[in-house]
Amino acid sequence: MSSASWSRPHRPHRPVRAGATVVAALLGLCCVGVAGLGVWNVQAVRQADAPVRATADAFLTEVTAGDADAAYRRLCAPARSRWSPIGFAAWVRTPPVLTGHQITDVSVATRDGRPTGTVTVRLTRDGGAAEQRDLPVVKEDGGWRVCGDPF
């Protein structure tokens, strides 16, 4: 026998398997992160959806009841600057007056870093005429306010 030393058999390295494992782990982590962000966004929108809907519903309920003073207080500052309380009340009472409403959709978005909402409503007027309108709602002074000419 020769004096050559014994050596272990050569085991091939498996860089492809190791790389694939790392890529799969990173991809799984990304998927979990994307899913988490998606759930967070849905919750944020749903939490904003309810107050936007409630603001629009209260505003339209007050207009329908003829309580123009209460409805006026729900207007945003730019809308109040366009309307005096007396002018708004006269506009609310101008025929054909609003007799009912049904909210059909609510969407919430952020524009220029400011949360905004759009409430799609079906308005019913005396005499039975109905029409669909979009009612803009904005976040102002910590609350939601109707901002625009709703009818």
Domain ranges of the chain: 17-146
Burial class of residue 135, CB neighbours in 10 A (0-12, 13-18, 19+) = buried
- Token readout for 124 is 């019913």
Q: What is the pLDDT of residue 4?
A: 62
Q: What is the pLDDT of residue 27?
A: 78
pLDDT greater than 70 at residue 78: yes
The residue among 42 and 63 whose pLDDT is bigger is: 63
pLDDT digits (tens, 9 = 90+) for 116-141: 999 999 999 999 999 999 999 999 99
Q: What is the pLDDT of residue 9?
A: 67
Task: Provide DSSP, 49-85.
Answer: HHHHHHHHHHHHHHHHHT-HHHHHHTB-HHHHHH--H
Residue 148 pLDDT level (bands cut at 50, 70, 90): confident
The residue among 79 and 22 whose pLDDT is bigger is: 79
Query: Among residues of the chain, what percentage have pLDDT more than 90?
Result: 62
pLDDT greater than 60 at residue 39: no
What's the whole-number mean pLDDT along residues 5-16? 67
The residue among 5 and 145 whose pLDDT is bigger is: 145
Residue 3 pLDDT level (bands cut at 50, 70, 90): low
Task: Provide DSSP, 72-137.
Answer: HHTB-HHHHHH--HHHHHHHHTSSSPEEEEEEEEEEEEEETTEEEEEEEEEEEETTS-EEEEEEEE
The verdict on domain 17-146 having CATH code 3.10.450.100 is yes
Q: What is the pLDDT of residue 47?
A: 61
